[in-house]
């Protein structure tokens, strides 16, 4: 069951909203035993890379596209650091509605680019950063009457609340800490709204602390000012002027949470730890929270024994180039058994 059917009662859907789905949501929540021991906490990972287009964006995109179809939109448009474009292109293909995606030229991970092109979207590389591409997409939407499916579209954040609901259902409560990467700041805001909605409905008693993690080179919510030239290896969160900054600040303030930043080196180290000690391959941006928890542990600021959930927002396969630049090549041998034994015993 997809997000709309599973949560129709909690979402702003009507009899006229088409019940589209690609099978998004209901992603695994996995306890990371080894990394929990290392950090002396109970650490859970929400595997959002298991969504149909490989990222959390599908939860909100299904709602945004359903609503666009309900309103008779003739085309979809978005700007994206990659995952939004892959998701929009997938749902547009399924609904057979035209889709334009604007990407910062040369700064989108290979897997995401391949997806947008394969799903048949009109892919436009803008020589500028994401923030400028978003301005252009918003203007095109306004002038041409296209549906904008970035998180400025309120239905995106509605659908993304479903992640919080699933976590509460799986744990029987909210976590103590909710650790999440922050780029355009939509997801942290959606999770906070989702947790609050569940509390108002009496489904949980306690709200989590919202812990948002950015990359040092693109950390406007940590520094308190827009970052004119964002730069990070975690291209998904290479964003200098988050559109949902106000909502994210509210979430962090209301929950006694915090924003923190981690270096590219810390992100890559966390990505390798997650893969090699956890068996979970997530893209670099998704590893900012683990990098952050490791950093807080070193600083003595990670309370022992807490239950923390990390949102692993995107699949590691999205960005094979960054992964390959971190790891060695395979050992190559001839087709002789002796050589194989030598390598295995070496
Ligand atoms: C893997 O695709 O902004 O703070 O255009 O792809 O809600 O923006 C992606 C963002 C985290 C940050 N992790 O979420 C886009 C885009 C991954 C992401 C984020 C993104 P927001």
Whole-angstrom distance, CA of residue 225 vs CA of residue 16: 42
* Atom 8 (ligand 1) nearest CA: 184
Give yes or no for residue 246 having a pLDDT over 90: yes
Helix, coil or strand: residue 134: helix
Pocket of ligand 1 (CB under 6 A): 55, 80-84, 151, 181-187, 236-237, 283, 285-286, 313-314
* Atom 11 (ligand 1) nearest CA: 181
Give yes or no for residue 46 having a pLDDT over 90: yes
Spatial CA neighbour of 234 closest among 164, 287, 299: 287
Q: What is the mean pLDDT of residues 200-209?
A: 98
Q: What is the mean pLDDT of residues 249-263?
A: 98
Give yes or no for residue 346 having a pLDDT over 90: no
Q: What is the mean pLDDT of residues 109-134?
A: 97
Query: Angle CA(131)–CA(193)–CA(1) in degrees, nearest 5?
Result: 95
pLDDT at residue 174, as a whole number: 98
Q: pLDDT (tens digit, 9 = 90+) per residue, 60-116?
A: 999 999 999 999 999 999 999 999 999 999 999 999 999 999 999 999 999 999 999
Supply the mean pLDDT for the chain. Answer: 98
Q: 338 C-alpha to center of ligand 1: Å?
A: 48
Q: How confident is the model at residue 200 (pLDDT cuts 50, 70, 90)?
A: very high
Q: What is the mean pLDDT of residues 38-62?
A: 98
Q: What is the mean pLDDT of residues 114-143?
A: 97
**In the numeric block, which tokens belong to residue 265?**
């080196």
Whole-angstrom distance, CA of residue 227 vs CA of residue 16: 42
Q: What is the mean pLDDT of residues 48-69?
A: 98
Whole-angstrom distance, CA of residue 297 vs CA of residue 293: 6
């Amino acid at each position: 069951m997809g997000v709309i059917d599973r949560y129709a009662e909690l979402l702003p859907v009507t009899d006229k909203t088409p019940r589209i789905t690609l099978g998004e949501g209901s992603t695994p929540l996995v306890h990371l035993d080894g990394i929990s021991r290392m950090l002396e906490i109970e650490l859970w990972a929400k595997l959002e890379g298991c969504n149909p287009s490989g990222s959390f964006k599908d939860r909100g995109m299904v709602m945004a596209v359903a609503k666009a179809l309900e309103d008779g939109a003739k085309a979809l448009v978005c700007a994206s650091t990659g995952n939004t474009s892959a998701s929009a292109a997938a749902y547009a293909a399924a609904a057979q509605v035209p889709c334009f995606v604007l990407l910062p030229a040369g700064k989108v991970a290979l897997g995401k680019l391949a997806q947008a092109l394969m799903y048949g979207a009109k892919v436009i590389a803008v020589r500028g950063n994401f923030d400028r591409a978003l301005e252009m997409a918003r203007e095109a939407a306004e002038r041409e009457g296209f549906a904008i499916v970035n998180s400025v579209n309120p239905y995106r954040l509605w659908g993304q609340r479903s992640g919080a609901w699933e976590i509460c259902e799986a744990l029987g409560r909210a976590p103590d800490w909710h650790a999440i990467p922050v780029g355009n700041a939509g997801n942290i805001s959606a999770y906070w709204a989702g947790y609050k909605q569940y509390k108002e409905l009496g489904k949980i008693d306690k709200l989590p602390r919202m812990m948002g993690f950015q990359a040092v080179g693109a950390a406007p919510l940590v520094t308190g000012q827009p970052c004119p030239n964002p730069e990070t290896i975690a291209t998904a969160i290479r964003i200098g002027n988050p559109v949902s900054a106000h909502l994210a600040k509210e979430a962090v303030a209301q929950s006694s949470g915090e924003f923190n930043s981690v270096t590219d080196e810390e992100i890559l180290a966390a990505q390798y730890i997650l893969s090699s000690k956890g068996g979970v391959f997530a893209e670099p941006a998704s590893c900012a929270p683990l990098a952050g928890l490791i950093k807080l542990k070193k600083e003595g600021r990670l309370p022992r024994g807490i239950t923390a959930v990390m949102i692993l927002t995107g699949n590691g396969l999205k960005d094979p180039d960054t992964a390959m630049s971190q790891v060695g090549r395979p050992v190559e041998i001839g087709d002789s058994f002796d050589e194989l034994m030598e390598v295995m015993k070496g």
